[in-house]
Structure 1
């Protein structure tokens, strides 16, 4: 029963977080937007936005309210260092406003809301509580508040990702994909960008956006449309089953890969797909939406081979892995081994890269091609 409550709460809070992200992204895309307040740079020059901190705050607050703060361990990407600086009062005020506006809507999603608006101290405490490092023992929520922040600020694809790991194994995963399109071709050709920049409520312009989720061992993955207007979230009645593609011929497969070249070797991936006879151009997509595309049947392969020295983080993969696997897909490292989520915030011991596939037969062909191509690569 506890697992059912955890899954339901996770789905509801990711719906709420996805709505928050839509609100912030619309502000960012307005010509009059003060992007400097809403978007900051981290030490590694990657962007972080008001939405990142705000989502982390509401997920932390809701999970603590529902399950008790002492019972909740959260591994998450953001910290409070930037928000706590003396010159960040405008940024903190923007986060404060966004969080409280979002939590005021929580009852629509079947979630609790505060008796009164949260103050700066409470917001910082909620974000700061997400300081677990995970590991092989215990139960840990794993959160990427806005996965694909670069896509987010460009009006492109991004995801809200929440998973629960118990003793190093993924128990459940939820992916909010607010810009996921109804048409596959819109994943990469900018349809969603055009739609995002049009005036008027999102719900009036398109049917895009969903929340996907799965529980380990159920053999099922599900998707729900995001709410529009004054709707209230019905769980699980409004959900439909996800199923991976049945394509097992590489020449017919669609391959996903990251947009960014910084942490992914596109040259090796291109050589690998060419050796397998893949004919279609790669589908370059920001964030864990690549996992969503596999689970949804819109693509068959996602491969990521990071450059030497880069370590994959658990929050970039956990939710997507369980959703793809329960939808019928296969996820391993490039050596064909299961991905290990028990060793802290990084995927330690990862063999070369990650291979996500819609089926076992196609997966075996990819792993074979990796071994055949590896020695001649420049990785």
Structure 2
């Protein structure tokens, strides 16, 4: 069963709410002095006294989950600072689980990024070293508001002739992890929320990628762009030129 949030296309399921409630219970038991910020229940619950906040998205890619598509994940990040204010926080640990894929992406600040596969084995992650944007596979996403979608369509149309292709997976957290794993050369999206990208941006940076906002703006205010050093930098500059 699904309800809607910001628009008729922005859905939330019972699984979103149940998953977040379970995560909150586990975090409260293990880290009682930390705060929690979640997509479904906001900052409800413990205010926290440690200076650390756990930012959770219980089902990132809810529409995929609802339709039985495999690209959805669970994103959990531990941040220092206030995640409700762009630029006022940084991620120190993050994990994104992809249950259908049987994969877990995780990273710690200064400790590298790792992928645990379906067989339980772990391998270090590294972004691609591609330098030619014309050969780049670029991920993106679209918002729920019709006006925002029209603008995002304009930007995508301008980028498409310049790259190998665009991919719209439907989960910002998994898009970022795919950049870290070299499955995408770069990714950008306008309008993501902190719970969408807090874990994934650390996975990308610890895999050697570049990640940030546009023109020095904070992450997600309003754009997130990530990629290997060369293509990621090119994409950033092109998005600035396009006034994305």
Is the structural similarity TM-score above 0.5? Answer: yes
Q: Which residue matches 1:329?
A: 209
1:40 aligns to what SS in structure 2? strand
- Give the 5 Å matches for 1:274-285: 274=161, 277-278=162-163, 280-285=164-169
- Give the 5 Å matches for 1:209-248: 209-218=102-111, 220-226=112-118, 238-248=121-131
Cα 1:373–1:47 shift into 2, 3 Å: closer
Q: Which has the higher strand share?
A: 2
- Give the 5 Å matches for 1:29-44: 38-42=1-5, 44=7
Question: How much has 1:52 moved relative to structure 2?
Answer: 0.8
Cα 1:372–1:259 shift into 2, 3 Å: closer
In the alignment, structure 1 residue 159 sits paired with structure 2 residue 39: no
Of 31, 36, 51, the match for 1:138: 51
Of 35, 40, 45, the match for 1:129: 45
**What is the rounded CA distance, in whole Å, between the counterparts of 2:105 and 2:165 in structure 1?**
26
CA RMSD of aligned residues (A): 2.6
Q: Tell me if the contact between 2:7 and 2:144 (Cα under 8 Å) persists in the aligned partners.
A: no
- Give the 5 Å matches for 1:198-217: 208-217=101-110
Equivalenced residues, count: 229
In the alignment, structure 1 residue 52 sits paired with structure 2 residue 52: no
Q: Which has the higher helix share?
A: 1
**What is the rounded CA distance, in whole Å, between the counterparts of 2:38 and 2:154 in structure 1?**
31
- Give the 5 Å matches for 1:242-321: 242-258=125-141, 262=145, 263-264=148-149, 265-274=152-161, 277-278=162-163, 280-287=164-171, 288-306=173-191, 312-321=192-201
Q: Tell me if the contact between 2:116 and 2:123 (Cα under 8 Å) persists in the aligned partners.
A: yes
Question: How much has 1:369 moved relative to structure 2?
Answer: 2.1
**What is the rounded CA distance, in whole Å, between the counterparts of 2:31 and 2:225 in structure 1?**
35
1:341-360: CA deviation from partner (whole Å, max 9, x where unpaired): xxxxxx5xx2x52211122x
Cα 1:50–1:372 shift into 2, 3 Å: closer
Of 204, 225, 231, the match for 1:362: 231
Cα 1:259–1:209 shift into 2, 3 Å: farther
**What is the rounded CA distance, in whole Å, between the counterparts of 2:99 and 2:142 in structure 1?**
18
Normalised by the size of structure 2, how large is the TM-score? 0.83
Q: Tell me if the contact between 1:330 and 1:358 (Cα under 8 Å) persists in the aligned partners.
A: yes
Normalised by the size of structure 1, how large is the TM-score? 0.55
**What is the rounded CA distance, in whole Å, between the counterparts of 1:328 and 1:268 in structure 2?**
26
**What is the rounded CA distance, in whole Å, between the counterparts of 1:129 and 1:54 in structure 2?**
15
**What is the rounded CA distance, in whole Å, between the counterparts of 1:371 and 1:79 in structure 2?**
34
Q: Tell me if the contact between 1:272 and 1:373 (Cα under 8 Å) persists in the aligned partners.
A: no
1:246 aligns to what SS in structure 2? coil
Question: How much has 1:144 moved relative to structure 2?
Answer: 0.6
Q: Which runs of 5+ in 1 are unaligned?
A: 1-37, 81-126, 180-207, 228-233, 307-311, 340-346
1:118-158: CA deviation from partner (whole Å, max 9, x where unpaired): xxxxxxxxx9527x5x9xx9210000111111111011211
**What is the rounded CA distance, in whole Å, between the counterparts of 1:59 and 1:372 in structure 2?**
41
**What is the rounded CA distance, in whole Å, between the counterparts of 2:127 and 2:53 in structure 1?**
28
Q: Which runs of 5+ in 2 are unaligned?
A: 82-88
Determine which structure has more spread, i.e. the larger CA radius of gyration.
1
2:188 aligns to what SS in structure 1? strand
1:143-190: CA deviation from partner (whole Å, max 9, x where unpaired): 0111111111011211100000113221111001123xxxxxxxxxxx
Q: Tell me if the contact between 1:215 and 1:322 (Cα under 8 Å) persists in the aligned partners.
A: yes
